[in-house]
């Protein structure tokens, strides 16, 4: 199939390239329409109990949550001072006039409600509500940002601090957008310099752009189509650009290196292209499938935030493979030997038949047991801190401590007793008719550790709404424990527990419930694909186990740094919360596992090719490593540069993503591929290629 594709591209190279360019440019043009349709939310499980409670509260009770929570500080005067009251009411009136604001509620307009006053009586709350029916989180967060920009800071005798969901979401999104722009400013020029060095020639160094641009623009088009039917997170764009460029480098390196190798062996340009597509192209195809199925596991999760990364992942991988198999060979066929124009480094152009990588492999295979034990010891040391891993969700603490939204949140926590967490909502349909049962239930709830106060029931027809005020943050492990304890109490039939803490708990439960299925899917599909590709049962088992060990080592390092607070001099300053954002950790794990399998296929394809050509186990590994390790190491280095730039971000979750992916690909390309794989190949010998006879007919080696 791949040889046929190669011959077709050679015959129609100009037409193939022109049509593909037209198609990708058209896709990019249409895909750009997606930018205004992307969502900044998606962190909730929409099928959960808390989601049902939210629907009840908003649709039946018409309850509204403030989009911004302003703290109005009165300085040295009491909030009840007449001058302060006049100034606060004037401020509230000005806020009401902002476009998009429906109403406000403050300590002063509510007649001095005690629960809206700070414990020191020197500050009061001012809640701002968006217009009813506003559900677009992008619009709501921008409203929060507008309120912060216009009203935060010193205003006469008053000082205003802006917090709340809209303000914090806008602050995080704006910070990420600014930080990623800075990261790209650093990474892109450095990447181009490294590409020229790795490829050895200016023309060849441009080849990753063919694959990368194809993947990125084509993925934008797919994402646009998806926005017509479902919500897609705005952060999916960051994965598309990062992964698109990374895979472009990986696949272009593999294809260009093989093309040069065939030319070096005396083949014509056309025959070199056919062989390249039939060999390296096949590897790209199967490698892409492993990454595709790995990233598709994100579609299992109930959170649209994670689903969006799944959409982005499968889109960019599909287009990267197409870019590597169609326009890239066509362009190489047109360029021919001119691909080496603009020589930067001769050593990067001419492939060596025998060199330091082959020597390394032979050195490793002379002492395989020592290498395996030593490598596993290093991975074990790195993985050890993972026992302390703990999960939560993004809140204001992912921002730098100096960020105004983070400062405002800290002010609320410090100065407003019992307002550290948003209220837990208890909805009792038909509760008016179950007064005694509801009273008994609330008496038990009030005794739950972490509940500061239980409000009086509010009546909506026959239904009741009760607010429980927690003394803990709403998106924390402590809040999760509170919700579990409340739900463990026998409650009136139909009672729903909602609110921010319940939403967090249900999201975490949804991830926990889905995780085994996602992991099982990854393990099964990867095992089948590597078996089909290699014809071995042993190799896919080793691949999955080694990649799991590499991933554990990465998670251990992340835990040691971001939970225990070490190595800030390297990754930059951040607020230590004792937890990691669950969604970000899953994203890191899936991306890392997928890229690790990418490199695994690169290496195994060359070892398998040499083994099928008649070489013994040791020589096939040595030659296979010599011809693939340079590609793997160079690709890993370039990808590490792209993601390491993310560590310049002030947002902890983005910083963690950058560090995690960078460490993982470098660890995988060196310790795992250069040492562990050849050592284990030597220990298993010819058994590496064993498979039951009944299954061999399902492999491509059959």
CA–CA distances in Å: residue 61 to residues 115, 183, 462, 465, 549? 22, 45, 11, 9, 51
Distance CA 369, CA 170 (A): 54
Distance CA 315, CA 225 (A): 11
Three-state DSSP class for 159? strand
Confidence (pLDDT) at 263: 86
Confidence (pLDDT) at 354: 67
Give bridge partners of residue 453 from the DSSP assignment: 469
- In this structure, are residues 256 and 199 in contact, taking their beta carbons and an 8 Å threshold? yes
What is the enclosing helix (H) or strand (E) of 538?
Answer: helix 538-558
- How many other C-beta atoms lie within 10 A of the C-beta of residue 102? 14
Is pLDDT of 7 > 80?
yes
Find tokens 């593909």 and name the residue.
20
Confidence (pLDDT) at 630: 78
Which two tokens mark 249?
């480098």
Three-state DSSP class for 71? strand
Three-state DSSP class for 476? coil
Which two tokens mark 694?
């009944």
pLDDT in tens, 456-499: 888 888 999 998 888 776 777 788 899 999 999 999 999 999 98
Could you tell me what percent of the chain has a pLDDT over 70? 96
Average confidence (pLDDT) over 9-15: 88
Three-state DSSP class for 49? helix
Distance CA 42, CA 34 (A): 17
pLDDT in tens, 41-96: 677 888 899 999 988 888 888 877 888 899 999 988 999 999 999 999 999 999 99
- In our burial notation (b when 16+ CB lie closer than 10 A, e otherwise), range 538-563 reads bbbebbbebbbbbbbbbbbbbbbbbb
Instruction: Delineate the domains of the chain, giving CATH numbers in brackets.
Output: 1-37+201-343 (1.20.1640.10), 67-163 (3.30.70.1320), 411-506 (3.30.70)
pLDDT in tens, 387-432: 999 888 777 888 888 889 889 988 988 888 655 457 899 999 998 9
Residue 513 CA from chain centroid, whole number: 19
CA–CA distances in Å: residue 506 to residues 61, 425, 491, 498, 513? 22, 14, 18, 9, 10
Confidence (pLDDT) at 246: 83
Distance CA 552, CA 512 (A): 18
Higher pLDDT pick, 307 / 137: 307
Distance CA 109, CA 114 (A): 12
pLDDT in tens, 648-693: 888 888 899 889 999 998 998 889 988 998 999 999 888 888 888 8
- In this structure, are residues 673 and 629 in contact, taking their beta carbons and an 8 Å threshold? yes
Torsion 184-185-189-194 (CA) sign: negative
Largest CA distance in the chain: 94
CA-wise closest residue to 608 among 594, 623, 630: 623
Confidence (pLDDT) at 445: 92
Confidence (pLDDT) at 13: 87
Confidence (pLDDT) at 419: 58
Confidence (pLDDT) at 122: 92
Confidence (pLDDT) at 149: 92
Is pLDDT of 559 > 90?
yes
Confidence (pLDDT) at 134: 59
Confidence category of residue 174, pLDDT binned at 50, 70, 90: confident
pLDDT in tens, 577-628: 888 888 889 988 998 888 888 888 888 888 888 888 888 888 888 888 887 8
Which two tokens mark 423?
């209220």
pLDDT in tens, 175-188: 877 887 888 788 87
pLDDT in tens, 116-158: 889 889 999 999 998 766 556 667 788 888 999 999 999 888 9
Torsion 356-645-398-401 (CA) sign: positive
Confidence (pLDDT) at 136: 64
Mean pLDDT of the chain: 87
Three-state DSSP class for 124? strand
């Amino acid at each position: 199939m791949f040889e046929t594709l190669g011959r077709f591209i050679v015959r129609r190279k100009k037409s193939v390239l022109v049509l593909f360019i037209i198609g990708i440019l058209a896709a990019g043009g249409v895909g750009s329409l997606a930018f205004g349709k992307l969502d900044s939310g998606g962190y909730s499980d929409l099928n959960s109990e808390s989601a049902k409670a939210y629907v009840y509260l908003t649709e039946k009770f018409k309850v509204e949550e403030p989009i911004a929570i302003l703290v109005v500080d009165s300085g040295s005067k009491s909030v009840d001072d007449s001058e302060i009251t006049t100034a606060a009411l004037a401020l509230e009136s000005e806020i009401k006039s902002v476009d998009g604001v429906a109403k406000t509620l403050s300590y002063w307009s509510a007649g001095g409600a005690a629960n809206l006053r700070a414990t020191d009586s020197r500050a009061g709350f001012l809640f701002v509500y968006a217009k009813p029916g506003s559900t677009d989180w992008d619009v709501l967060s921008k409203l929060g940002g507008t309120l912060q920009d216009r009203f935060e800071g010193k205003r006469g005798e008053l000082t205003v601090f802006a917090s709340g969901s809209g303000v914090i979401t806008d602050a995080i999104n704006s910070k990420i957008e600014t930080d990623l722009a800075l990261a790209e400013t650093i990474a892109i020029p450095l990447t181009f310099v490294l590409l020229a060095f790795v490829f050895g020639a200016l023309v060849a160094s441009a080849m990753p752009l063919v694959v990368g641009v194809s993947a990125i623009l084509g993925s934008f088009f797919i994402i646009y189509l998806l926005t017509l039917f479902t919500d897609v997170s705005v952060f999916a764009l960051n994965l598309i650009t990062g992964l698109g460029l990374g895979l472009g480098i990986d696949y272009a390196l593999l294809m260009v290196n093989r093309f040069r190798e065939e030319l070096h062996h005396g083949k014509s340009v056309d025959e070199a292209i056919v062989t390249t597509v039939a060999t390296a192209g096949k590897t790209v195809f199967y490698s892409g499938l492993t990454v595709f199925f790995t990233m598709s596991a994100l579609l299992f999760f109930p959170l649209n935030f994670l689903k969006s990364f799944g959409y982005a992942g499968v889109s960019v991988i599909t287009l990267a493979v197409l870019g590597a198999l169609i326009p890239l060979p066509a362009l190489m066929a047109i360029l021919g030997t001119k691909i080496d124009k603009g020589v930067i480094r001769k050593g990067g152009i001419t492939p060596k038949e025998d060199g330091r990588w082959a020597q390394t492999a032979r050195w490793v295979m002379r002492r395989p047991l020592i290498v395996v034990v030593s490598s596993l010891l290093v991975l074990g040391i790195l993985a050890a801190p993972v026992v302390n891993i703990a999960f939560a969700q993004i809140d204001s603490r992912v921002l730098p401590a100096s960020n105004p939204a983070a400062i405002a949140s800290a002010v609320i926590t410090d100065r407003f007793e019992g307002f550290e967490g948003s209220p837990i909502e208890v909805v009792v349909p038909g509760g008016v008719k179950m007064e005694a049962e509801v009273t008994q239930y609330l008496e038990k709830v009030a005794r739950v550790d972490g509940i500061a106060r239980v409000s009086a029931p509010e009546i909506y027809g026959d239904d009741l709404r009760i607010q429980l005020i927690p003394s803990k943050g709403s998106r924390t492990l402590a809040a999760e424990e509170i919700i579990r304890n409340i739900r463990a109490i026998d409650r009136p039939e139909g009672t729903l527990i909602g609110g921010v803490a319940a939403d967090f708990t249900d999201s975490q439960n949804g991830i926990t419930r889905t995780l085994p299925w996602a992991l099982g899917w990854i393990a099964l599909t990867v095992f089948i694909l590597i078996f089909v590709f290699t014809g071995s049962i042993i190799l896919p088992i080793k691949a999955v186990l080694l990649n799991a060990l590499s991933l554990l080592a990465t998670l251990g390092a992340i835990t040691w740094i971001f939970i225990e607070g070490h190595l800030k001099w390297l990754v930059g300053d951040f607020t230590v919360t004792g937890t990691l954002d669950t969604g970000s950790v899953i994203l890191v794990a899936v991306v890392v596992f997928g890229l690790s399998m990418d490199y695994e296929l690169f290496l195994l394809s060359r070892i398998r090719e040499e083994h099928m050509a008649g070489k013994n186990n040791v020589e096939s590994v040595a030659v296979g490593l010599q011809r693939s390790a340079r590609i793997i190491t160079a690709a890993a280095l370039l990808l590490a540069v792209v993601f390491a730039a993310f560590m310049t971000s002030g947002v902890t979750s983005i910083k963690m993503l950058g560090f995690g992916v960078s460490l993982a690909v470098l660890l995988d390309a060196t310790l795992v591929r250069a040492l562990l794989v050849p050592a284990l190949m030597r220990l298993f010998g010819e058994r590496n290629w064993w498979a039951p006879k009944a299954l061999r007919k399902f492999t491509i080696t059959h």
